[in-house]
Amino acid sequence: MNYQDYLFVGVDTHKNQHTAVVINCFHQKLGVVETHNNPSNFDELIKELETLTPNQETLVFGLEDTQGLGRSLAQWLIKRDYQVKEVNPALTKRERQHSPNPDKSDQVDGEAIANVLLAQWDKLPTIHEDGNHKAIKQLNNHLRGLVKQRTQIKNQLHNLIHQQYPNYEKFFSNPFKVKTALAFWKKFPHPNKLKHYGEKRLQKFLKKQTKNISNDKASKILSLVDKDQEQDVSVRARNKLIVMLIEQLRLINQQLEKIKTELQEAVDNSPYQLTTMPGISYNLAAQFIAEIGNISRFNSANQLARYSGLAPTEHSSGKSSHTSRKKYGCRNLNNAFYMLALQQISTTRNGKPKNPVAYNYYQKKLAEGKYGKSALVCLQRRLVDIIFAMMRDKTAYKLPETPDYDVLNKAG
């Protein structure tokens, strides 16, 4: 690539307006163009940018938010054969911090994006058009949002029900997940509601929710409650809140099941066979696909590791040298590799490793003197190689017969 034949456009994307800053290969700022975030305005954007190309240089683009606010522009550019690179916001922030101009504005951000685009052209992932990936991204984001809402509701229920039933956690194995528990809290938000229920009547109610419930469940619950507690205004308010929150929780659980079904279908329609690897559920596969996108935008596993925040950074001064990992990468993708690593070193109920090769590799790192966290990071880095190979070759995972973990790098 002859950099003098190109102009580098950094675009700071927003809901209503984008700001594009153009620099040449010498990092010289040539101009700024603003446009509304509307495809009908993008033709005019290109025309204004082309006035800044005196020698007919080719325009290349760098955008931070290619799956959110900048998606419409990114896809519009791709359809017209422009090269578009995804710039990690952490790199932009670091570039801006190193700039002599400490201010933060759309133009400053756009120039920082353009400088990162030029300086790290070969390392930045290229954006490609992929409708199914966008569907997985949207479904995955919605799934995460629902899970967050569910956690908030469970925390509220924990606080409210604990005030009514101090020993409530002894009633059910999972007080906010099993069907019987939710039905119980809704019907009996306060012990006083159990006043006219004996063991047989309560057991009948519980059996109606779940037939395989233990025969002594009713007696156990009744032995832990004081049915004669009085209800004041605050108690009655909590009763109403508990019922409302239970209804919300049930609705979110129903929505989650629908989203998971949609996600499974979308993952099956993708060209990747990630679920063939032990420890990768459809939800985790969706997270990998959503954050990685088209694997061809990464030239190597090292580039994917850097994007994931799992590539070591060297620090040296004189004879002293050490490596560390900075939190510059995609945190959602980093978390996905972390969850996968935990699955890989976990064991079944009979103590057998789910992935003996990964487990042995982890134990080897511990034997070398690494702490658990460091050993897990090493495993995460090796898993990057595997996921990259599987997605690049679009093949299924096969557990190596040899105990040598390096064979896993040839997975797929």
6-12 β-sheet, strand order:
29-36, 17-23, 6-12, 58-63, 84-86
pLDDT for 345 equals: 92
CB atoms within 10 A of CB 378: 21
Please name the residue ranges forming H helices in 6-130.
42-50, 71-79, 89-98, 106-119
Q: What is the pLDDT of residue 375?
A: 92
Q: Alpha-carbon distance 277 to 387, whole Å?
A: 9
- Return d(Cα 351, Cα 145) in angstroms, integer: 35
CA 116-119-122 angle, 5° bins: 100
Q: 292: closest CA among 334, 256, 321?
A: 334
- Residue of 194, 62, 179, 188 lying closest to 117 (CA atoms): 62
User: CA Rg, the chain, in Å?
Assistant: 28
Which pair of structure tokens corresponds to residue 279?
């420890």
User: Would you state the pLDDT for residue 354?
Assistant: 87
Ordered DSSP codes for 286-353: HHHHHHH-SGGG-SSHHHHHHHHT-S-EEEEETTEEEEE--TTS-HHHHHHHHHHHHHHH-B-TTS-B
pLDDT at residue 402 in the model: 54
User: CB pairs under 8 A, 24+ apart, for 399-404?
Assistant: 399/278, 399/355, 399/356, 399/357, 400/357, 403/356, 403/357, 403/360
> Which residue stretches of the chain have pLDDT < 70?
66-67, 99-103, 130, 312-328, 401-412
Q: What is the pLDDT of residue 103?
A: 65
Residues in CB range of 56: below 8 A, 6 or more apart? none
Amino acid sitting at position 168: Y
Structure confidence by residue, pLDDT tens digits, 265-307: 999 999 999 999 988 999 999 999 999 988 888 889 998 998 8
Instruction: For 210, list phi and psi in degrees, rounded to 5.
Output: -145, 115
pLDDT of res. 363: 93
Torsion of CA 103, 109, 114, 117, to 10 degrees: 110
Residue 326 pLDDT: 60
| pLDDT value of position 289 | 93
Q: Which residue reads 């009633």 in tokens?
A: 171
